[in-house]
Amino acid sequence: MQRFEGQVAVITGGAQGIGLGIAHRLGREGASLALLDRDQPKLESAVASLQGACAGVEGFTVDVTDDNAVNGAVEQVLKRFGRIDVLVTAAGIVGVTDTPTHGIETANFDAVLGVNLRGMFFCIRAVLPSMLAADYGRIVNIASITGKDGNEGMMPYTVSKAGVIGMTMVVGREYAHTGITCNAIAPALIQTAMTTEGLDEEHFKRLTARIPMGRTGTIDEVSAVAAFAASRECSFTTGFTFDASGGRAVY
């Protein structure tokens, strides 16, 4: 399928993990890609891995917590590609884990919400004017199943992902009368560097045990859901959160 032929997709957190996996999926289906990430070496490696595997690709070193930097990057994307059809907000951090609420430091709380929630807001706000001008757009936010049912010891992360789901609802409804849709994906534990490096072994096992399928998900499985949500086919669904949870949440 070439569902994204002639389209341009901006993907935050595109240098690795779920973001890079989605980039490969959309690229195989014809999209030109603009990857935004603050890790320049990994970003350069990601761009190199996509060369020749998509219609075009360029990386932009951006910290999504800096609204001026985000606005500047979106302007550069528009100058380079002329349009933005899809935004995938995959940039995210876990923060400190296995810590009860009374032990959470303010700096950790602010850092997690800064990337996972404020950064997402900055990116959505930056692309909406061009999408409105085109009467078309697809916004796909990477949330988490913990945003629905919570993970003890991960209060900042849980709060940030619940906020992502709420933001998705609002944006979806506000622009439902336009050609723009905004949906989210709530994965359970996915095998990525962020989860394997951010969680200790016991915590990893506890989260996996909550998944009825008895295993972690894969980046390819999340990317398949994202590709639908980012496509023209997803035309009558907005403000919704798709699960990719192996049965952990069924609502």
Catalytic residues: 157
Residue 11's nearest CA partner among 92, 131, 117, 110 is 92
Count CB-CB contacts under 10 A for residue 185.
28
Distant-in-sequence, close-in-space partners of 102: CB < 8 Å, separation ≥ 6: none
- Give the side-chain half-sphere CA count within 13 A for 120: 28
Count CB-CB contacts under 10 A for residue 176.
13
130 to each of 6, 12, 42, 53, 184, how far by Cα in Å?
16, 17, 28, 26, 20
